[in-house]
Amino acid sequence: MTSTQFGPTRDGTAARLFSLGNASGFRADITDFGATLVRLMAPDRHGRLGDVVLGFDRVSAYAGHPFFLGATVGRYANRIAGGRFALDGVTHQLSLNNGPADARCHLHGGPGGFQHRLWVAETREDPRGVSLRLTYRSPDGEEGYPGSLDTTVAYTLPADRNELRLDYEARTDRATPVNLTHHSYFNLGGETACDVLDHRLQIAAGRFTPINAALIPRGPHLPVAGTPFDFRAPRSIGEGIPADDEQLRLAGGYDHNYVLDAGGGALALAATVLEPHSGRVMEVLTTEPGLQLYSGNFLDGSWPGKGGRIHAKHAGFCLETQHFPDSPNQPTFPSTILRPGQVFRSTTIYRFGTAT
Does 275 participate in catalysis according to the annotation?
A: no
Distance CA 247, CA 269 (A): 26
Distance CA 141, CA 57 (A): 33
- Check 182, 183, 199, 323 and give the catalytic one: 183
Does 320 participate in catalysis according to the annotation?
A: yes
- Check 275, 311, 320, 323 and give the catalytic one: 320
CB atoms under 10 Å from CB of 5, counted, come to 10
Task: Report, as residue numbers or ranges, the catalytic residues.
Answer: 183, 320
